[in-house]
Each structure stands twice: as structure tokens, then as C-alpha cells.
Structure 1
Amino acid sequence: MTRVAVLGATGAVGQRFIQLLSDHPTFEIAALTASADSAGSPYREAAKWRVDTPIPEAVADVEVVETTPEAVPDDVDLIFSSLPSSVAERVESDFCEAGYVVSSNSSNERGADDVPLVIPEINPDHLDLIEVQRDNRGWDGALVKNPNCSTITMVPTLATLDAFGLERVHVSTLQAVSGAGYSGVTSMEILDNVIPYIGGEEEKMETESRKLLGEFDGSQVQWHDVEVSASCNRVATLDGHLENVWAELSDDPTVAEIYAAFDDAATQDLHSAPDPLIETFDEPDRPQPRLDRFLGNGMAVAAGGVQETPAGVQYNTLAHNTLRGAAGASLLNGELLDRNGWL
């Protein structure tokens, strides 16, 4: 078994990590970290458990430790980070310097030239950037990132459309409240309302997409030259980010060819990888968050409502934002790191 630790284990994404790791065939939880206020408490007391399955008995009485390399056992092979970015930017490098490999959901350093930003089904070869990172930073460990939850919803479909000459993308998102964390949006803000702005979200979609779709040339990632414009909106759904995408293409594929390309999107032979990666719907009113967010155990991307436009194609896409878009994405990166011998 591969021994793992979870940084920020008491938060919303940290709890998803615990849920996903509870019956994992390869990964075994060896340490859980949180703030100094929670350190020393059993996990069941430190975490206000809010996930839709019971707290796993195997971790309920595990003592939470502080988020420092010294508090994590030396025999831990892989660390999953669900820390707030303000904390992650201060401490993740400490773990990497101490020799740990960190698969992180936090947004800090996603755009750094020597940090792999990875979706395993899309750009697994970007993990080779780890060698550049180690040379640059003198680390024995490594830092790998997964993208933002709204980016990861859209990019698998864009990667498929790139075969038709992807030139320009416009996207409008309808993002669930869980993406802001348990206390992120109050009921008075979101009930009977839509908030047409999410700080930093649009920039993440516009930049992360280009890095993910880029080519690794052995020393750096050459970002894709597609132009991406995003408008991000918070809506009153609990889980599942729905996005309306307009993609301008140099080729002129039919709707049937688009659906066929989505259906044939490559997946990975990893425990948490969905098969198929993209599940498609012919209906114009699908996918929908309540109906489709748990496809592929919450790890699949859904697409539907495909229509031709004068410049390309318009469609809807959906993914579960705390599973595929957060903890599940880091977990999948961890499985890829383990399989490819980086641990």
C-alpha cells in the first residue's frame, strides 16, 4: 500500500479526500493535518463532518497533527493538499523541500513555469516537468497541481475539439455554492438570486485552459494559442458546475462528428478514472446538475445540447465540482504519479 497524508483534512475538500480514500485499493491514510487549533484532537472532533456518507471509522479516532513536515511520518509516500491557497503558498514548498511529493488542489503556483498542471486523461506527459522543477528548486520532492473546478469541467471537451482546429472559446458558467466552501456564500446572498461574478475565477479559466492544452517540449510547456473568454456566475445549486460553451473552430464538423469525438475521448487506466471520460446527451436540456453530477461516480464530464454555429459549435458541459473538480482531481493525479513511478 502507498501511504498518504491529507493536508487541511478538516475542510470541505479535505473531507472529500477522506471519503474517496476510505476504501481505496492502493492508498492508505497515514496522517491527517489541520490548523494548530485542531491538532491533538481526534478527527471526528476536529472535523465538522458534512459529506453525504458517514465518517469512515478507520479515521474517526486518528489524531490530527499540525501542518508541518515534522509532524508527518517519514514513510509517507504521497501528500494530498486541500489547503486554502493563502496557507498552501507558505507551507507546500516546505513539504517538497523535505522530500515529499505533493498533489495539490490549491490554486497557488498553477501557472508557474515549472509546476505541472495536470488532468491525467488530457496531458499526463506534463508530469515530466517534475525533473525541470527539481533542477530549478533543488527539491527531492515535487509539487503537482490540478486545475480549478470550472476549468476541469470544460477542458476535456476542448481537448477533444482541438482535433477540429480550436481557435477561440467563450464560456459562461453556472457554478454551485459548494465551490465557495461551506461558509462561502450565505443563504441571504444566493437564494432567489444569481451572483454574476466570482473573484479570480474567470482569469483561472482563461489561463489554466491554455496551459493544460499546451505541449511539453522537454523543458517547458508551450501554452496553446486558443483565446478563452469566461463569465463566471454563482447559482443556487449545491454541487455540479454547468457551463455553456461556444467554441470557434477552423474546421466545420457536423453535430454528429462532435458527439462522436466526445464519445471517443480517451480515458486512463487508473482506479478513479471514469470510463467514458465524457458522457453525452442528445437532449437539448441536458446535462443538469441534479440529474448528472454523479456520472462516473462523480468523476465523469457530461456534455449535451450540441448545436452548430456560424463559427463552430455551442454545447453544455457539467462536472461535479468537489469530486471531479477538486479532491477527485488531486486523487487521480496521485494515482498517475504512483503508476508512473514518481513516488
Structure 2
Amino acid sequence: MSVRVGILGATGAVGQRFIQLLDDHPTFELAAVTASASSVGKPYREAAKWRVDTAIPDDVADMEVRATDPEAIADANVDLLFSSLPSGVATEVEPAFLQEGYVVSSNSSNDRMAPDVPLTIPEINPEHLGLIDVQRDERGWDGALVKNPNCSTITMVPTLAALDSFGLESVHVSTLQAVSGAGYSGVTSMEIIDNAIPHIGGEEEKMETESRKLLGAFDGAGIELHDADVVASCNRIPTLDGHLENVFAALSEDPSPAEVRAAMRDLPSADLHSSPDQLIKVFDDENPDRPQPRLDRTYAGGMGVVAGGVQTTYEGVAYNCLAHNTIRGAAGASVLNGELLVKEGYV
């Protein structure tokens, strides 16, 4: 089965990752790329300042960049759109595509907490796609909007899902986030070299709210948020890729470190092309200094989560976790959601 796809906002950092991940994908055929007005009409190789560590695919390099408008892609016969638009733009643009019947798998942060929009990690809460039926009824469109979570949230939530069997009560997390999470011009070299920035605007709130929605229960009409309290402190550090997070989780039960590691290793993956065979790789006690961004961010092609440093505390467990923020935490998450949409018959 071949599914024709398009990318909204294809020239930016996440858009370039989409192109890299879609190259030679067994299901998805890239049929259209869009960008801002300054890029429209140009070949993609001229419109994009390519920064990904692989070459622009030949069939994309000469593809003409289109306007980010439903009429501009009408003749491309696209079945599924991936969105990497800035949230302010996506708020205005995505509904226009949805009204025209497009299915959109979006990395943009707008509407993630909307009650009728699935916020999905396929290995964790695939049943939340059922919100699409609610969404279509309430908004009166034939399209469908699915979101993936923030790059810092998606790093932590799979590990929390593994801990939930021990009675997850509360979470405190401190992040060490790579500069690529802010985009190419988001943090200047003078700001970040020889430095750490102990605040990332809006990031703490995203982790605190999105985690509870992802771990919540779908009752057929909406999502009941998980009752665990989540408190986050988000910090920018001078690594290029890979968000490292220090997690402290309070549990109602008292598992041993070995039981925690086993629960993480045994967390089921998804039967989807881009999902790793083992979602969470866990280091044992003999590697207390892992995971590390430079060494571990490309686990499973950047689509996996890596954990380590598991130890018990007086109220639960402490550990570290890591994921590649522009692959698993952004474009790869949207591609995976697209694969789930196809599997479940929404595309």
C-alpha cells in the first residue's frame, strides 16, 4: 500500500527531518512540500538551507515548493499531511486543511491539550485515536487532527508508562535539553557556549500537562487525565541533539531497581515500521554514567528511549532517560502517528 503524503513547513529543522525519515519509507510517498511565501516556486534544494547529516534525496531536491494552502496542493492527491509549522501559524493554517478533509499528523504545539484532539504516542496510548470520531462530530469536518507531544515530554512518558503498574503518584523532572530543540536560530552561540540556561519558555507547562493526558484513560467521549502530579524544571545545555532528563517518581508500591528496569525493558512496542523492537533500552548498574546524549541519542535510529541510573528513593525511584529530540521527539513521532493512522484505517 502506498500513501501519498505532504509536509507543511518543509524547509525548517523539523521539516528537514521529515524528509530524511520519509526517504525510502515502505508506505509513504512524498508528493508535496510547502513553506512560506519567500520559498514558494523554488526547487526545494534552493529553498531549504539543508542541515541534516544526510544528503537531500534526489527526488526531493528538484521538487517545487508550494504555498501552505489547500488549493496549492490540490493536484498532488495527498492522503496524509505532516505538519511542522510554528504553532502560531499552525493555529490558523491547519483548520483550513482539516475542513478540506485532510488528515494531519502534526508536531506543532497548538491544540495538543484540546479535549477532542488525540495526543498520541503509538506504543503508549493508541486507543486515544478514538477521539477522532468525537472531533469530527464536534467540529464538523471530514479531516482529522492528531498531535504528538513535546520533545521533552515524549522522552519521559514511555518510562512513566512502565512505572504506572507500580502506582505512579507524582513526578519531578529536571531536563537537560539540546540546542536543536530551539531551532537553528533559537539560541545564539553567545548565549549557550560555556553556559546553561535554567528556563525554556512554556516547556515546563507542556511537560506537566501533556504527560497526564498521554497517560490518561479514554472513555469513548474524552480523556480522563492521569491523577499523578507532574512538576518540571527545563534547562537548555550546549549539546546539539538529545534531551537528557533526571526523573524522580513517587510510587505507591516499593519495587526494586531490578524490577523497575525489567518493567521498562518489557514495555511493549508497536507493530509499526518506525517503532523500535525494544522501545526502552535500559542500562544496568555497571554503567551508572549512561545514557549520555552523544553516545546514546541514536539508539534505534533515534526512535528509541534510553534509561539508566535506576535507584530507589524514600518514596519511589530516581533514574535518567534520554531520546533524540528532533527524531523521536519531533518528526519521527509524527511519522509514527501517521503509520498508526494508516493501520487503524483513518487514512
TM-score normalised to structure 1 length: 1.00
1:292 to 2:293 alignment:
no
Q: Which amino acid aligns with 1:331?
A: V
Partner of 2:326: 322
- For 1:229, the aligned partner's letter is V
Q: In the alignment, is residue 218 of structure 1 matched against residue 220 of structure 2?
A: yes
The counterpart of 1:265, out of the listed 264, 267, 272, is 267
Q: Please state whether the residue corresponding to 1:337 is helix, strand or coil.
A: helix
C-alpha contact 1:85 1:108 (8 A) present in aligned 2:
yes
* Runs ≥4 residues deviating over 4 A: none
The DSSP-based 3-state class of the residue aligned with 1:248 is strand
Partners of 2:282 and 2:57 lie apart in 1 by 33
SS of the equivalent of 1:96 reads helix
1:242 aligns with: 244
Equivalent position of 1:127 in the other structure:
129
- The residue number in structure 2 matching 1:61 is 62
Shift of 1:72: 1.1
3-state SS of 1:208 partner: helix
Q: Which residue of 2 aligns with 1:98?
A: 100
Amino acid at match of 2:227: D
Whichever residue aligns with residue 190 of structure 2, its letter is M
- Matched AA of 1:85: S
Unaligned ranges ≥5, structure 2: none
Show CA shifts across 1:32-59 (max 9, x none). Answer: 0000110000000000000000111010
Q: How much is the aligned-residue C-alpha RMSD, in angstroms? A: 0.5
Secondary structure of the structure 2 residue equivalent to 1:133: helix
After superposition, residues 78-97 of structure 1 pair within 5 angstroms as 78-97=80-99
Partners of 1:118 and 1:184 in 2: CA distance = 26
Counterparts of residues 189-208 of structure 1 (less than 5 Å): 189-208=191-210
- 1:195-246: per-residue Cα shift (whole Å, max 9, x none)? 0000000000000000000000000000000000000000000000000000
Query: Match of 2:74, SS?
Result: coil
Match of 1:306 in 2: 310
Number of matched residues? 343
- Counterpart of 2:21 in structure 1 is 20
Map of 1:109-148 to 2, 5 A cutoff?
Answer: 109-148=111-150
Alignment of 1:252 onto 2:254? yes
Q: Write the letter of the residue equivalent to 1:135.
A: D
Partners of 1:160 and 1:263 lie apart in 2 by 9
| One-letter amino acid of the structure 2 residue matched with residue 153 of structure 1 | T
Q: Match of 1:178?
A: 180
1:293 shift after superposition = 0.2
Instruction: Determine which of 332, 337, 341 is the counterpart of 1:337.
Output: 341
Q: Which amino acid aligns with 2:291?
A: P
Alignment TM-score, normalising by the size of structure 2: 0.98
The answer to whether the 8 A contact 1:31-1:73 is kept is no
For 1:50, the equivalent position in structure 2 comes to 51
Take 1:314 and 1:327, find their aligned partners in 2: how far apart are those partners? 29
Contact 1:105 1:330 in 2 (8 A): yes
Is residue 30 of structure 2 the alignment partner of residue 29 of structure 1?
yes
- 2:12 corresponds in structure 1 to 11
Matches of 1:321 and 1:275 in 2, distance apart? 19
Matched position secondary structure for 1:72: helix
Distance 2:113 2:300 in 1: 29
Alpha-carbon distance in structure 2 between the residues aligned to 1:73 and 1:138? 21
- Partners of 1:118 and 1:23 lie apart in 2 by 24
Matched letter for residue 314 of structure 1: A
Displacement of 1:73 in angstroms is: 3.0
Contact kept? 1:198, 1:233, Cα under 8 Å: yes
Q: Are 1:150 and 1:205, in contact at CA under 8 Å, matched by a contact in 2? A: yes
Residues 279-319 of structure 1 deviation map (CA, whole Å, 9 limit, x = unaligned): 01012110000000000100000000000000000000000
Distance 2:5 2:301 in 1: 22
Distance in 1 of aligned mates of 2:15 and 2:70: 18
